């Protein structure tokens, strides 16, 4: 029986002679077994990251590095308990952080992404997902070199497939999300699921304790928001502005989010100032109201000249 742990990532360094050998094995195996089919399949590099993560987990569980040739494609690992595991891995040039700071100085909680089409494919029969993040250098292609130090795998935790489908937030192509200190539009159908909602691992062998009862419990578990606290408050402001939420609802959200600072729009502050100026010009707000509003907003950013 699995015992819950806070999802603090397990950090596995894949550097030096041994790390390079493992990365080289992954690259050689992928050269022969790369997947060219499937809904929104990962590109070659990302398939390599997933394979490398799977190999690390297999090693920690004292399993062979690779599946036999006749292993079904619907999952990556089958535990002794019969639980079917799909290992998910995202690569990036920065270490995995449970919480990072946005451009406004407020904290952002980390998330994981799933391709929605893959989750809804019946032939992908995994019971749980193990979520990982690979810190990798530039260029990001396996196996890299022996001297590179930016090869670190973060094993974040596990989650049942049914819970991801029930609680994750589906975002279609074109939907906006925040990454680091920038905004971007999704290219594919995505489901966002936040790291703090995962089931953590104290050691890799905790995976061997997961049985069907643990999965049933997780499938019915009610987690927290799959949204940053900052974006939750932004949504509250938006819904209140449209007359959907009342002030007391926004006050509740603000209290629950417990942020030490004011949440701004995802638009630039200059655009907010522009609207306030427009309201003053239309005489909707007085000069005094305008001055009071300016005190609550950052000062306008001005262009300082070419080459500066």
Per-residue tens of pLDDT for the chain, all 308 residues: 999 999 999 999 999 999 999 999 999 999 988 765 554 456 788 899 999 999 999 999 999 999 888 888 889 999 999 999 999 999 999 999 999 998 888 999 999 999 999 899 888 999 999 999 999 999 889 999 999 999 999 999 999 999 999 999 999 999 999 877 788 899 999 999 999 999 999 999 999 999 999 999 999 999 999 999 999 999 999 999 999 999 999 999 999 999 988 888 888 889 999 999 999 999 999 999 999 999 988 889 888 877 65
Which tokens go with 126? 């995994």
Q: Is the pTM of this model over 0.75?
A: yes
Count each helix (H run) and each strand (E run) in the chain, helices first. Answer: 9, 12
Which tokens go with 173? 């192509």
Of 17, 15, 122, 37, nearest to 75 by C-alpha is 122
pLDDT for 89: 96
Q: What is the CA radius of gyration of the chain?
A: 23
Contact 134, 152 (CB under 8 A): yes
Which tokens go with 77? 């690992």
pLDDT for 115: 94
pLDDT for 307: 61
pLDDT for 222: 95
Find all residues with CB under 8 Å of 302, minimum gap 6, and list them.
Answer: none
Find all residues with CB under 8 Å of 174, minimum gap 6, and list them.
Answer: 185, 186
């Amino acid at each position: 029986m699995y015992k819950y742990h806070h999802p603090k990532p397990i950090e596995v360094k894949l550097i030096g002679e041994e790390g390079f050998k493992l990365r080289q094995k992954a690259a050689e195996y992928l050269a022969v077994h790369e997947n060219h089919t499937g809904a929104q399949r990962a590109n070659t590099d990302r398939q390599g990251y997933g394979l490398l993560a799977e190999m690390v987990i297999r090693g920690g569980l004292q399993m062979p590095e690779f599946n036999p040739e006749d292993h079904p494609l619907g999952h990556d690992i089958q535990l002794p308990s019969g639980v079917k595991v799909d290992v998910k891995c995202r690569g990036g040039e920065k270490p995995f952080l449970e919480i990072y700071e946005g451009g406004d100085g407020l904290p952002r909680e980390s998330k994981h992404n799933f391709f929605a089409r893959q989750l809804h494919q019946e032939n992908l029969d995994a019971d749980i997902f193990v979520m990982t993040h690979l810190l990798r250098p530039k260029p990001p292609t396996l196996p890299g070199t022996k001297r590179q130090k930016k090869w670190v795998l973060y094993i974040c935790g596990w989650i049942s497939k049914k819970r991801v489908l029930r609680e994750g937030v589906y975002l279609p192509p074109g939907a906006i999300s925040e990454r680091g200190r920038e905004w971007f539009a999704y290219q594919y159908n995505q489901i966002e699921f936040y790291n703090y909602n995962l089931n953590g691992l104290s050691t890799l062998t905790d995976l061997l304790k997961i049985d069907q009862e643990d999965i049933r419990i997780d499938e019915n578990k009610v987690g927290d928001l799959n949204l940053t606290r900052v974006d939750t408050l932004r949504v509250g402001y938006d819904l209140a502005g449209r007359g959907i939420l009342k002030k007391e609802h926004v006050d509740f959200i603000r209290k629950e989010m417990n942020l030490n600072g004011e949440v701004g729009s995802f638009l630039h502050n200059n655009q907010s100032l522009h609207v306030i100026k427009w309201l003053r010009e239309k005489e909707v707000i007085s000069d005094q109201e305008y001055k009071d509003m300016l005190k609550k907003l950052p000062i306008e950013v001005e262009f300082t000249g070419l080459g500066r």
